[in-house]
Structure 1
Amino acid sequence: MFRRTFWFTTGVAAGVWATTKVNRKLKQLTPESLAVTAANKAIEAGGRLRDRAVDFALEVRDNMAQREAELGDALGLNAPVDRGLPAPRHHAVIENRNSPKYVAGPEAGPTYRTYPYNRNEDH
C-alpha cells in the first residue's frame, strides 16, 4: 500500500510539474509575449549600438583634432600672427541718373518721384 501511494504521489507531482512547464511555455509563445520579448531585445540592441556609435564618434573627433593639429603645424598655420586689423573698406555710392525715379529739378539737389511699392521696379 505504501508503495502504491508513493508512486501515485510521484506521478501527480510529475504531472503538475509537466503541466506547469507546458503552461509557461505556451504563455511565452503567445503573440503578445513574443512582441514584448522582441521589443525588449530591440531596445537592448539599440542601446548597445548607441553606446558603440558614441564611442566611435568620440574616437573620430579625437583623431580629427590630432590630425588637424599635425596639419596646422606642417603648414605653419598654428604660428602666431602679429598683424593689426586691416583698414576698413570704403564703398563708392553710384547714382543711376537713368532711373525713372530720378528727376533733375530746378532746385540745386535732385528730387524723386513717389511711386507705389513694386518689387519688380528695379529689375
Structure 2
Amino acid sequence: MFRRTFWFTAGAAAGVWATTKVNRKLKQLTPESLAARATDKAIETGHRLKDFALDVRDGMAQREAELGDALGLNAPVEPELPGRRFAVVEHHTEKKPKYLESATYPRDAANPTYSNNRNEDH
C-alpha cells in the first residue's frame, strides 16, 4: 500500500509540474508576451547603440586632441603674435536695371502697391 501511495504522489507531482511548465510556455508565446519581449530587446539594443555612439565620440575627441598636440595646433599662442583679423565687407548697392524701374513693370520690394504674394487677403 505504501508503494501505491508513493507512485500516486509521484505521478500527481509530475502531472502538476508538467502542467505548470506547459502553461508557462504557453504564456510566453502569447502575442502580448512576444510584443513585450520584442520591445524590451529593442530598448536594450537602443541603449547599446547609444553607449557605442558615446564611446565613439569620446574616442574621436581623444584622437583629435592627440593629433592637435602632434601637429602643434593646441600649443599656446605666443603673446607677441597679433590676434586674428577679420575682413570687413562693405555693402554695395547696385543700380537696378531700367526694366525694373519702369512704372509698367513694378517688381520693386519697396512698392507695396503691387504685391506678388497671392496668399495675401485682398
Normalising to structure 2: TM-score of the pair?
0.60
2:12 paired residue number: 16
C-alpha contact 1:72 1:78 (8 A) present in aligned 2: yes
1:90 paired residue number: 90
Same amino acid, percent of matched pairs: 35
2:74 paired residue number: 78
Cα 1:102–1:78 change in 2 (3 A) is farther
Normalising to structure 1: TM-score of the pair?
0.59
Rg larger in structure: 1
Structure 2 gaps of 5+ residues are 104-109, 118-122
2:29 paired residue number: 34
C-alpha contact 1:101 1:113 (8 A) present in aligned 2: no
Q: Distance in 2 between matches of 1:78 and 1:102?
A: 59
Q: Distance in 2 between matches of 1:116 and 1:75?
A: 60
Deviation of the 1:17 alpha carbon? 0.6
Deviation of the 1:13 alpha carbon? 0.5
Structure 1 gaps of 5+ residues are 104-111
Name which structure has the greater RCO, CA cutoff 8 Å, separation 6+: 1
- Deviation string 1:27-79 (CA, Å, 9 cap, x unpaired) is 1342x4324268437625752x3444343223212221122123323444334
Alignment RMSD, CA only?
3.4
Deviation of the 1:93 alpha carbon? 0.6
